[in-house]
Structure 1
Amino acid sequence: MKKLIEIMVSILLIVSISPIQGFAKEANSVHTLSKEQQNVYNIVLKSMLDIDTSAQFNAQKVNYENVGNIVNQVVEETPEIFYYHSVTVGSDGTIQFKYNNSKKDILKKKSKIDAAVKTIVAKSIKKNMSDLEKVKAIHDYLVLNVEYDYKNYLNNKVPADSYQTYGALINKKAVCDGYSKSMQVLLKKAGIASIYVTGTADGEDHSWNLVKVNGKYYHVDTTWDDPVPNKKGVVNYNYFLLTNNQLKKDHKWTESDYPNATSGQYNYFHNMENMIEKSGYYYYSNAQNNILYKMNKSSKKTSKVVSDRVPYFTIYGQWIYYSNYSNGGYLYKVKLNGKSKKQIKRMHVVNIYMNGKVLYYKEFASGKYRQIKL
C-alpha cells in the first residue's frame, strides 16, 4: 500500500494535473528532461531541500502546466523530502510549496533521520563489501528493525510518518512507502544506485525498489520480505533481487518507465525462507520444507545441517538454536557442522533471536517471551 503524492495546481489560468507515479530520473529511464525542464527540476529540488515556501521559474521557457509533474518527479526521487504536502503553480512562473509541518519541526525530524542514516550505514556497511553484500545488509536491517504498521493499516488509520523514512527509521513502524523510501536513502548513503518504483501488488497500491548490483538491475520488495504479523529475528528473501518476470506474478507496474531487470544470477536467495549469514556460509530454512541447510557463499555449494524442520532459528558462536518442528516445535541446539544436537526446552517456541549474549524465544502457548543467558 502506498500513499499517493498530492499535487494541487492553482494557476492564473486554471489547470488540473493528476498525480504521476513511477518517475525515475535515471540514465536508463525513458523519462528524460529537456535542458530548461532540468533547470526547473534543480530549482524545485534546491528550494524543497531548503524548505523554502516559494520559488520562481522562467514560464516563457517551460510550460507552467508541466511544473506539477516535475515537482512530483523531484519528490518521488528524493525521499529526503518527507515533508511535502502540495504545490501551487502560477502561469507567471511562481511556485508555492506547502509542507506538512513547520520548518522548525521539519528540521528536528530531519536531524533525527540524518543521524539514524549515518549510524545504520556505519554499522551495516563494512569496508570492501560487494554491491550484493551492501544491498543485503540494508535489506536485512530494515526487515529486522522495522515492523509493518499492520494494526493501523487494518483500521485505515495509517499516520503520515509511516509512509516516510521517519516512520521506518525513527518510529520503527512503516507501510511500503516507508520501507522503500528508507531503502533508497540508505542505499544512496552506501553508494548503491536504486530507484523507487510505484505500482500495485495483489490489487493494492504499492512501492518497492529497483537496485543496481554489479551493473544490473534487480527488484527488491523489502516490505514483502518482512513477515506480517512481525516475527523477530526472521528475514525472508522471496522478493530479494528478482527479475521483471519473477516479480510480475503478483506485482504490476508500468515496465516501460523503468530499467528492465532480467538477470537471474541471485535466484538461490528465493529458496531461503529464513537465513543467517555466518563465517562464509548462508544458513537457511529451505522454502520447500523448512529443512535447515547451509550454502558456501563463494562456491554456492549447499549441504544439509540437520534433517529437522526449522522455521525459526538463530546463531550464537558455534551453535544454532532452533525451534524443531519435527518434534513439537521444541527448543533445540546443534553445532554449525550439524553435530551434538540437543533438546533444551520441551515446549513449542517461535520467534527465536539473539540480543547480545541473551537468547530470546516466544512460548507459542502463552505468547510470552523468555530468555536464556548464553
Structure 2
Amino acid sequence: MNKTLKLLKLFLSSLLLFALIFPFENIFASTLDSNSKDFNNTNNLTTISYSEEDYISSKKTYKEISNQTFKQNMNLFNSLTYNLNNEYELKQYIYSELKKCQTKIDISRFCTSLTPNDADYIFNTYFDTLYEYPDIFYTTDSVSFTYSTDSNNFISFCELQITYPYDKDTLNKVINDFSLKVAEINDLYLQDISNPLELEYEIYDYIINNTKYDYENLQSNTVPYISHTAYGSLINGIAVCDGYSKAAKVLFNLVGIDSGIIVSYEMNHAWNYVKFDNQYYHLDITWADPSFDTGKHNYSYFNLSDEEMSKDHIWPNIYPNCTSDKFSFLRKDIGYKSFRLKDKIYYDNYENKIKSISISGDASEVVLENTPSNHLIGYNNTLYIALGNEIKSINLSSKKLASFRNTNSFINNLDILNGILYIETYDSGNFQFDLKTPEDVNCDGIVDILDLSTLGLKYNVKSTDSIWRRRFDINKDSIIDLFDIIFLTKKL
C-alpha cells in the first residue's frame, strides 16, 4: 500500500512538473515560430508582374456567358473574399498614392482576406483605377506586386511597385501641363454650361476637333504608349482609341457625368459609355472622328443603344446594358451636313431647308426655307453655308441671310476650329478667316449693350478668382477692368 502511494505521489509530482514546464516550452516554441515567420516574410517574398494588355485580355467574355452568370460569379467572389466597399476604398487609396507619384504602395490592409489565387483581382483593381481616373496617365503600362502569406495562405503583406517613364522634373512638368490644359478646356468650353447633355456634346465635339488619330504609327505598328493616354489626346492632339476614350473620361469626371470605358479584346478597340436619366448609352468618339474615317464630323456614334452599336461593334458582357433608343434620331434624321450650336443641332437633309432640332431630339423647327447648301457649319450665333462659289451667313437671332464671301471657285469643304473658318476650294486654293470677336462676350453674334452689361457683371474680377472667365478679358491682361470696357464700347 505504501509502495503504491509512493508511486502515485511520484506520478503526480512528475505531472505537476510537466505542467509547469510545458507552457514555457510552448512560449519558447511560439517565439521560435514567430521569429521564423518574420524571417520568411522578409526573405520569401513573391513578386508578380502584370501588364495593361493582360488586363484587357482578362476583360474578354464570350457571348455565351450571360450578364447574369457573370454577375452571379462576381457576387459569389465578393461574398467569399471581398466586398464592394473595400474595393472602392482600395481604388481611392491607389489613386491618392498615384497622385503623389509613389513608387511603392502598401495595400496590405486591403488584402487580408485574399490569397495568392486572387492576384488577378488585385491587378485588375489597379488597372480599373487607371481607367476610372485616366488623369493618371504618367505610369508605365505594367505593374508589379510583392506579397507574402500567413500560415493559412492569406496575404499578410502586399505592396504594389509602380514605375514611371520620366525623371522627376519631367514627371512634374507633364503633370502640371496636363492639369493646366484641363483647366483651360474647362474655362473656355465647359464651365458656363449647366445642362449635362450639352456638356456631353461639348466634350464629344472638343475631342473630335482637337485630336487626330495616330494612323501613321498604327500602320507601322509603332504607336507610342503616350498615344494610348488622355495626355496624347489633350496635349499632343494625337491618340488612338483608348486615348480618345480616356480623354473623354477625364472631362466627364471633371463635370460629373457618370461614365466608363468599354474595352473590346476582340476588336482591339475602346470607347465610352455614359449615363443620362438612368439610361446607359454607347459613345465612340474615335469612329466619329473624320480624321480616322473620311467624312464630316457627325453624331453617328453619339449615345447609341446596344442594338445600334452591335451592328459593327462587339464587347464583353460585363458592361451596363444600353437599351434606350432616345438618340436614334441622330442617325435617322441628321446626316453629315449638320452642326451643333449650344443646345440645338442645325442640318440640311437635302430638302432645301435649314432645320434645327434640340440636342435631346424633343423639338424641331425650320430655320430657313428655300436655302440649299453643300456644306453647313456654325460659330457662336451664326451659321455659314456654302453653295457653289459663295459662302452665306445666317444670323440665328434675326434669321437673316447675307453674303459672307465669294471665292470664285467651287467650295469643296468648310470647317471651323477654335473660331477660324477654313475654306477649301476646287482650284483657287485654301482660305481662312478669323471669326472671333472678343467683344462679343455673350457669344450671340452681335456686339451690343448686352455685352456691355455682361462685362459689367464681371468688373474687377482677376484671373486668380474662382469666377474668372477668360473670354471676358478682352485685352488679355488678367483682369476685367475699364480697359476691357473701352475696347468693347469702340465696337458698339
What TM-score do the two structures reach when normalised by structure 2?
A: 0.62
Change in 2 beyond 3 A, CA 1:39/1:141: closer
Contact in 1 for aligned 2:288/2:300 (Cα 8 Å): yes
- Residue 118 of structure 2 corresponds to residue 84 of structure 1: no
Shift, 1:109, TM fit: 0.9
Contact 1:321 1:331 in 2 (8 A): no
Alignment of 1:322-337 (within 5 A): 322-324=385-387, 327=388, 330-333=389-392, 335=394, 337=399
Deviates more, 1:211-220 or 1:13-22: 13-22
Q: Which residue is equivalent to 1:8?
A: none
Match of 1:20 among 49, 52, 55: 55
The equivalent residue for 2:445 is: none
Q: Which residue of 2 aligns with 1:5?
A: none
Compute the displacement of 1:102 (Å): 2.6
CA 1:112–1:364 in structure 2 vs 1: closer, same or farther (change >3 Å)?
farther
1:235 CA drift (Å): 2.7
Q: Separation in 1 of the partners of 2:413 and 2:364?
A: 28
- Say if 1:150 and 1:112 are closer, same or farther in 2 by CA, change over 3 A: same
More helix as a share of residues: 2
State the Cα distance separating 1:47 from its structure 2 match.
2.4
Q: Which residue of 1 aligns with 2:98?
A: 48
Which shows bigger deviation, 46-55 or 313-322?
Answer: 313-322
Q: CA deviation at 1:40?
A: 4.1
1:57 corresponds to: 107
* Structure 2: distance between partners of 1:104 and 1:240: 39
| Counterpart code for 1:323 | A
Return 5+ residue gaps in structure 2 as ranges. Answer: 1-44, 60-67, 149-157, 436-492
Secondary structure in structure 1 of the residue aligned to 2:173? helix
Query: Which residue matches 2:127?
Result: 72
CA contact (8 A) 2:348 2:372 kept: no
2:197 corresponds in structure 1 to 132
How far apart, in 1, do the equivalents of 2:101 and 2:342 lie? 46
- 1:224 corresponds to: 287
User: Alignment partner of 2:311: what SS?
Assistant: coil
Deviations 1:187-239 (A, max 9, x none): 11111111011116xx641111111122221111111111026889x531000
Pick one of 356, 360, 366 that aligns with 1:303. Answer: 366
After superposition, residues 131-210 of structure 1 pair within 5 angstroms as: 131-199=196-264, 204-210=267-273
Q: Distance in 2 between matches of 1:119 and 1:41?
A: 27
Among 241, 259, 273, the alignment partner of 2:320 is 259
- Equivalent pair of 1:131/1:214 in contact (CA under 8 Å): no
SS of equivalent to 2:208 = helix
2:165 equivalent in structure 1: 100
CA contact (8 A) 2:47 2:145 kept: no
1:294 corresponding residue in structure 2 = 355
Report the secondary structure of 1:251's partner residue.
coil
| Residue 184 of structure 1, CA deviation | 0.5
Residue correspondences, number: 348
- Please, which of 411, 422, 425 is the counterpart of residue 363 of structure 1? 425
Higher deviation after alignment, 84-93 or 131-140: 84-93
Q: Which residue of 2 aligns with 1:344?
A: 406
Give the 3 Å change call, closer, same or farther, for CA 136–316 of structure 1 in structure 2. closer
Any conservation in 2 of the 1:295–1:302 contact (CA below 8 Å)?
A: yes
Q: How far off is 1:251 after superposition? A: 0.9
CA contact (8 A) 1:199 1:253 kept: yes
CA RMSD of aligned residues (A): 3.4
Amino acid at match of 1:362: E
Match of 1:214 among 260, 272, 277: 277
Determine if the alignment matches structure 1 residue 235 to structure 2 residue 294.
no
Amino acid at match of 1:61: S
How far 1:60 sits from its partner (Å)? 4.0
Relative to the length of structure 1, the TM-score reads 0.80
How many Å separate the matches in 2 of 1:356 and 1:164?
23
The offset of 1:282, in angstroms, is 2.0
Q: 1:292 to 1:89 in 2, by over 3 A?
A: farther
Alpha-carbon distance, 1:183 to partner: 0.4
1:3-14 paired onto structure 2 within 5 Å: 12=46
Is the Cα contact below 8 Å between 1:162 and 1:175 reproduced in 2?
Answer: yes
**Residue 174 of structure 1: how far off its partner (Å):** 1.3
Contact 2:422 2:432 (C-alpha < 8 Å) held by counterparts: yes
Displacement after TM superposition at 1:90 (Å): 1.9
SS at match of 1:371: strand
Q: Could you list the runs of 5+ residues in structure 1 that have no partner in the other structure?
A: 1-10
Greater relative contact order (CA < 8 Å, ≥ 6 in sequence):
1
Partners of 1:13 and 1:178 in 2: CA distance: 30
1:322 Cα deviation after fit: 2.9
State whether residues 179 and 223 of structure 1, in contact with CA within 8 Å, keep that contact through their aligned partners in structure 2. Answer: yes
Structure 1 or 2: more strand by fraction = 1
Q: CA deviation at 1:161?
A: 1.7
Shift of 1:354: 4.3
Deviation per CA, 1:231-284, whole angstroms, max 9, x where unpaired?
Answer: 89x5310000111111111111113x1111111112222224243234864212
